Structure 1
Amino acid sequence: MTRFLFVVPPLVGHVNPLVGVAAELRARGHATAWAGLPELVGPLAGPGARVLRCAVAAGDAAPPRPPELRGPAALKFLWADFLVPLAEAMAPGVARAVARFEPDVLVVDQQALAGALVAERLGLPWVTTASTSAEFTGALDGMPLVAAWIEGLLAELRGRLAGPDRTADPRFSPYLTLAFTTPELAGPLAAPAGPVRFVGPSVTARPAAGAFPWEWLDPDRATVLVSLGTVNTDAGTQFLTACREALRERAGRLQAVIADPGGVLGPPAGDADVLVLPSVPQLDLLPRTAAVVCHAGHNTVCEALWHGVPLVVAPIRDDQPVVAGQVVAAGAGVRVRFGRTGADRLGRAVDAVLDDPAHRAAARRIGGSFRAAGGAAAAATCLEQLRTPAVRRAR
Structure 2
Amino acid sequence: MDTKDKNSEHASPGLAASDSATMPVEGAGVAQPAEGSAIPADGKQPKKSGTPFQESLRRLRRDVRAMVSIGFLLFFIILPIVGPPIYRNIGPEMVTSMGDHVTSQVYRDPFHQELDNQDQGPSAYYWLGTDSIGRDLFSRLMQGMLISLVVAIVVEIVTVFLGIFFGVMAGYFGGWIDQILARFTDIMFAFPGLLFAILLTGIFGSSADTTFSSIPLIGQNGNARLVLVSIALALVQWPFIARLVRGQALQLREQQFVEAARSTGTTNFQIIKRHIIPNLIAIIIVQVSLDLGGIIIGEAGLSFLGLGVQPPGSSIGLMISDAQNLVDTHPWEVLLPSIVLTIIVLAFSFLGDGLRDAFDPRSKD
Coarse TM-score class (shorter-chain normalised): under 0.3
Structure with the higher strand share, 1 or 2: 1
Q: Higher relative contact order at CA 8 Å, sep ≥6: structure 1 or structure 2?
A: 2
Higher helix share: 2
TM-score between the two structures when normalised by the length of structure 1 = 0.23
Q: Which of structures 1 and 2 has the bigger CA Rg?
A: 2
TM-score, length of structure 2 as denominator length = 0.24
